[in-house]
Structure 1
Amino acid sequence: MPQTYLDGAVAYPAEFAQKYREKGYWIGQNLSEFLHEATEKYADNIAIYCAEQKITYRQFNSAVDCCVASLYQRGLRSGDKAVVQLPNHHAFYIIFFALIRLGALPIMSLPAHRFSEVNSFFQQTEANAYFCADFGTQKFDYRALARQCQQSNPSLKQVFVLGETAEFDSISALYTLEIQDNPVQPIVSQASTADQVAFLQLSGGSTGIPKLISRTHDDYLYSVRESAKICELNQYSKLLMVLPAAHNFSMSSAGALGIFYSGGAVVLGTDPSPETSFTLIRKHQVTDACLVPALVRPWMDKAACDQDDILSSLHCLQVGGARLADVVANRLIDEFNVNLQQVFGMAEGLVNYTRFGMHKDQIIHTQGLKISEDDEILVLDEDDQPVAQGEVGHLLTRGPYTIRGYYKAEEHNARSFTPDGFYRTGDLVRILEDGCIVVEGRSKEQINRGGEKIATEEVEQALITHPQVQLVSLVAMPDDVLGEKSCAFVSWQAQQDDPSEIRRGLNLRQYLKDYGLAHYKIPDRVEFIQHFPYTAFGKIDKKTLVKQL
């Protein structure tokens, strides 16, 4: 039986924890101490650019102390849990570190999540606080979502809103960015020790609702420190952040935490369009940016149309979240003179990077090398036997920053982790002779829509609740920009005055929106079908369906 922490988080076995400490991977520092150390080293450096605001490390740390005191006054205590669903705004980082410094447990949520996902986080954790914006993109009202969650979860006592608060508390009122003559006396630190859980990150949701991932201070900060070194960040680095701030890629690969470790600055952008992003790159002399593959094509098209060499001005353009097509990687290097770094990783742990100075073919055709010599990697066949080097197989891993089990998910953990602690990633990979990893796809049934993972089962289960849907199957269809889009094949029970196929498709999309699915999970295409093809095992034959597209 795996060792567990209080409240359902799986711990590292004692012998592995001892080894990781002896090797200097785990240094006993928690995230609160991490920010204090950065402030001591880089007090007057700019830590965050947000709209027209420039926030120094000294202001940042002081605002966190102020926020801790305010949250304490409002009744939050060590051991409490809070769902954090905020846009790319400096408040995200202040709230994140304040909760950790208070000893509360942040639960990451992405802006695209809706009731289906957010409500599940409250149900899994019994969180008693929720931090959100007033409105998001597409004019979505998170305050209405908060009300829904309160009705379904008696544990949710406090809601804090960034912007127009309605009946809720104001996030902006929790802190000030001004340095006071008489600074707020910080609450005695209740932050958990470095070997304890720091926060809950999200999985890609391969079985529907995202599973919760318990990351400890020790394991997460090891990956942050090493990633910052691999990415060659320093106090002059400026990282453009247009991906959601709460995403694991955005936080730690090397992400905002890697920047804070190095004394550089995060430049927050709320719009990933090339028009907005290029303006920010010029304005702040950005050195680094991270994108998912779906955003790369629009950036290249804009730069080519304007005959703009802005991409070559970057120290590094990172691409991760999904495999970057070789032809696109080649164009970035040859046509745009980009210093490209491919990133392949997962919120559960293992991260691989192409290194600066690698041969061009390695950067284009592989996803690089693992962080640590103690990242143990197995590539196995269907019978859990090792494949020959260079052959495709299922990726399993364990190491000093890879979890040993999901939060409160014993049944799922029995399937996703081997008895000796290897995580079954669901990825199909090859390992080359030079150690580089090449990602060949997913073994789990999942659609990768521009880096956003869609579990087919979750969408199918939502669609089947519609009274006129008799049978449904969601499949992936190729897309030049996003890599994959989703198509729902639907067997429809017609009624009198039934609308046309187009109308039915639009109605189903609205139905799923009202159901509470995130917008990226709503099928891009709907095909109505009378008879489904089946395999010899009596299952819907999805390969045959894909051929009909």
Structure 2
Amino acid sequence: MAGGFVPWPGPEATRYRSAGHWRGAPLGHLLREAAAQHGERTALIDARTRLTFAGLDTRADRTAAGLAESGIRPGDRVLVQLPNRVEFAVLLFALFRLGALPVLALPGHRESELKHLAELSEAVAFVTTDELEGHDHRPVIRALLEVCPSLRHTVVIGDPDGVEEAIAYGSLDREPVRLPDPDPSGPAVLLLSGGSTGLPKLIPRTHDDYAYNARRMAELCRLGPADVYLAVLPAAHNLPLACPGLLGALMSGAATVFAENASPPEVFPLIERERVTVTALVPPLAALWSRAVEWVGCDLAGLRLVQVGGARLPEPTARILPDALGCTLQQVFGMAEGLLCATRLDDPPETVATTQGRPVSSDDEIRIVAGDDTAVPDGETGELLTRGPYTIRGYYRAPEHNARAFTADGFYRSGDLVRRTPGGDLVVEGRVKEQINRAGEKVSPEEVEHHLLAHPAVAQAVVIGVPDDVLGERVCACLLLAPDTTPDAAPDAGQPAGAPDAAALGEFLRDRGVAAFKRPQQVETVEAWPLTGVGKIDRRALTVIAADHARARVPH
């Protein structure tokens, strides 16, 4: 394992090349080919900018030259935290061409997550904006620079005032220089894991495997030059980035529209104006959009395909969405680590409504196993294990975790519980390990619990996911309070006076640099934990209690 990257074994790499899955072209070349073929056609659109394929190609070259001149070298890791804007794509391809590895943080990440990612990757640079999600982001930048000595360069889109020695993004514009091509079999980008056992791990995707990932999904979506893809989920996510996402759209000659707001009154007019044909949503957004067409008067007739992934789509939403939005639904089940399953555009409606589809590659290998790794029959639930031409063989710089997360013969233990239908489609039934899926964002209870224990009023904390009609699951903190916090009488609100509520815990976690999507929306206090038969805290019982309390508090 050189430099923390685990390659595919030689015989399998040879097989994937022979099959045509891996074509030996760096990702930067894919844009070059698209620019040669589609030149002056529109490639990217955001609220500020429209850019052609040729223009994107040129800007990527000029930005790569500026990054090289500022001291970024091939193999360097660069922490990137940008909203859905044209600059995201320009910077991504600039780094591909330079051979530096973008570490794709999410817009919602704050000091805690950014510090972890910078330290784990030993990032030498941080690229972000002066304002993020409506807030001045420069205090976060300064705080990160104080605790991460590896960060030698900071690039700020907007006003870098107050950030010591920061480089203004515009100053990276330089005359293109000849740069050596990176190794297509080497890592191109570091994605983030869902963090089911704590803070995110880094997922190294190579030029070869990620190009195949995007190309195969573009084929299944029948993406072509007449399409307009809307990136409404954060573009750093695997789904809007390469399933087919931005990369698949560029490879297919389709335009990509970046949206920073997913609310129907904001995004529906954008769909109408730009004649969007394809987009990807998480289940809560799919449900919201399906209802919103009744009260947001826009022409969505151009929309032909909506993908829904990130979490299992509830069957009622799957049944109403096609008629509500006037389009085909494609369920997508996958992971940034690799494997993608999808329903096909010509699948029967019942298959689309009730399954998460089947593997997209002929060389995807699937095992569904019991706890002892023995295979379970079709129709029974087990853990999904997988390997294939775009599923990683190891996390970046995580040898101890890799020993647990991968079998001896290279199958990735996904942690997903699935069953296989007679037709070969998978149905997702849950997770082996506890993980909260809040609107497609994965929240590790262990991580949030660690932060909550630092609160002076908290003696013990258990974080659970509670079913939520809008979010899918909301984050709920169950607290056993420190003895001197709990008074004799509880107030009318149902919590002990002095107990921190959701707003107070939110402020506390914000001050600790925890992303907003990980902060509890519900808080419950207990005098004693419900226990299972073997004496462990009964998380399922807590979930029932929290759900009952939430229903009781809703006015009828």
Instruction: Name the CA shift for 1:51/1:208 in 2 (closer, same or farther; >3 Å).
Output: same
What residue number does 1:415 align with? 404
* 8 Å contact from structure 2 (residues 34, 253) kept in 1: yes
Match of 1:170 in 2: 168
Cα gap change, 1:362 to 1:84, in 2 (>3 Å): same
| CA–CA distance in structure 2, aligned partners of residues 358 and 271 of structure 1 | 31
Contiguous gaps of at least 5 residues in structure 1: 176-183
1:240 aligns with 2:230: yes
**Deviations 1:33-73 (Å, cap 9, x if unpaired)?**
11111111111111001114220011101011111111122
Quote how far apart the aligned CAs of 1:513 are: 1.2
The residue number in structure 2 matching 1:529 is 526
Deviation for aligned residue 1:307: 6.3
Displacement of 1:496: 7.2
Tell me, yes or no, if the aligned pair for 1:303 and 1:309 is still in contact at 8 Å: no
- Greater shift, 396-405 or 409-418, is seen at 409-418
Task: List aligned pairs for 1:377-416, cutoff 5 A.
Answer: 377-416=366-405
In the TM superposition, residue 333 of structure 1 has moved relative to its aligned partner by 2.5
Q: Percent identity?
A: 43
Question: In structure 1, what is the Cα distance between the partners aligned to 2:175 and 2:170?
Answer: 19
Q: Partners in 2 of 1:90 and 1:137 — Cα distance? A: 16
- Return the alpha-carbon distance in structure 1 between the equivalents of residues 486 and 372 of structure 2: 53
| 1:46 aligns to 2:42 (yes or no) | yes
Query: By how many angstroms is 1:504 displaced?
Result: 4.3
Asked whether the 8 Å contact 1:45–1:264 carries over to 2, the reply is no
Count of residue pairs the alignment pairs up: 535
User: Is the CA contact (8 Å cut-off) linking 1:30 and 1:191 kept in structure 2?
Assistant: yes
Q: Calculate the aligned-residue CA RMSD, in Å.
A: 1.6
Contact 2:457 2:499 in 1 (8 A): no
One of 505, 509, 529 as aligned partner of 2:506: 509
Task: Give 1:169's aligned amino acid.
Answer: I
Find the counterpart in structure 2 of residue 179 from structure 1.
none
Match of 2:80 in 1: 84
Q: Is the 8 Å Cα contact of residues 322 and 328 (structure 2) preserved in structure 1?
A: yes
Amino acid at match of 1:440: E
Which of these residues, 333, 344, 348, is aligned with residue 333 of structure 2?
344
3-state SS in 2 of match to 1:98: helix
> SS at 1:548's partner residue?
helix
Tell me the TM-score normalised to structure 2 length.
0.93
SS at match of 2:185: coil
Alignment-derived partner of residue 272 in structure 2: 282
2:457–2:500 CA contact under 8 A, matched in 1: no
Describe how 1:136-155 pairs up with structure 2 within 5 A.
136-139=132-135, 141-155=136-150
AA aligned to 1:150 is L
Whole-angstrom CA distance in 2 between matches of 1:326 and 1:80: 44
Compute the displacement of 1:172 (Å).
2.8
- Give the match for residue 178 of structure 1: none
Query: Mapping of 1:430-509 within 5 angstroms?
Result: 430-495=419-484, 500=497, 503-509=500-506
- CA shift at 1:530, angstroms? 1.2
Aligned-pair CA distance for 1:79: 2.2
Q: Is the 8 A contact 1:501 1:528 kept in 2?
A: no
1:281/1:338 Cα in 2 relative to 1: closer, same or farther (>3 Å)? same
How far did residue 508 of structure 1 move? 2.1
8 A Cα contact 1:223 1:371, kept in partner? no
Give 1:2-17 correspondences, 5 Å limit. Answer: 4=1, 6-17=2-13
Q: Find the aligned partners of 1:538 and 1:218 in 2 and give their Cα distance.
A: 49
Give the secondary structure class of the aligned counterpart of 2:128: strand
Q: In the TM superposition, what whole-angstrom CA distance separates every residue of 1:444-469 from its partner, at most 9, and x where no partner exists?
A: 11011111111111111111111221
Instruction: Please say which of residues 85-94 and 96-105 is displaced more in the overlay.
Output: 96-105
What does residue 538 of structure 1 align with? 535
Match of 1:24 in 2: 20
Among 29, 51, 64, the alignment partner of 1:55 is 51
User: 1:336 and 1:66, CA in 2 relative to 1: closer, same or farther beyond 3 A?
Assistant: closer
TM-score by length of 1: 0.94
The aligned residue for residue 258 of structure 1 is 248
Q: Relative to 1, partners in 2 of residues 1:497 and 1:439: Cα closer, same or farther, differing over 3 Å? A: closer
CA distance change for structure 1 residues 431 and 146 in 2, over 3 Å: closer, same or farther? same
| Equivalent position of 1:33 in the other structure | 29
In structure 2, runs of 5+ residues without a counterpart are 488-495, 547-556
- C-alpha contact (below 8 Å) 1:203/1:348 kept by paired residues: yes
Aligned to 1:181: none
